[in-house]
Amino acid sequence: LGKPLKNIPQFVSKQQLTEDAVEAARNEMKEELIAQGKPEKIIDNIVAGKINRWIEDNSQLDKTHALLSQTYVMDDSMTVEEAIKAVDASIEIVEYVRFELGEGIEKKEEDFAAEVAAQMGN
């Protein structure tokens, strides 16, 4: 992508958004707004806007960092969605795992002076 993602999508496409997931997000947003001390009469209006944004952020089929619209690694002239259709139209991606660059890599701590001293026989 070349830039960090602000919101990591939790779903491949809007088709995977269930009413339960949307309702859970809506309730979480309401709780946050109540905790912030927002007036009760405007909370529903704020949540309506936030839920639309949440749906867009979590189902970015048309965005560059959504799985199905990413460039297919083996043939950069097509997207992942086009590659799936070319192979077999019955394939459906139901889940995916995203790894952050460098995630889980442990850097070995080395003391260069101690290493040189050990090689010198000290």
Q: Could you read off the pLDDT of 24-81 as tens digits, one per residue? A: 989 999 999 999 998 888 998 999 999 888 877 776 554 545 677 777 888 888 888 8
Phi, psi at 79, each rounded to 5°: -90, 170
Based on the number of CB atoms within 10 Å of its own CB, is 12 exposed (0-12), middle (13-18) or buried (19 or more)?
buried
**Residue 8 pLDDT:** 62
What rounded mean pLDDT belongs to the chain? 78
Q: What is the pLDDT of residues 89-115, one digit of tens each?
A: 788 777 777 777 766 677 777 888 888
pTM: 0.45
The answer to whether 84 touches 70, Cβ cutoff 8 Å, is no
The CA distance from 117 to 122, in Å, is: 5
Residues 86-110 as b/e (b if ≥16 CB within 10 A, e otherwise) read: eeeeeeeeeeeeeeeeeeeeeeeee
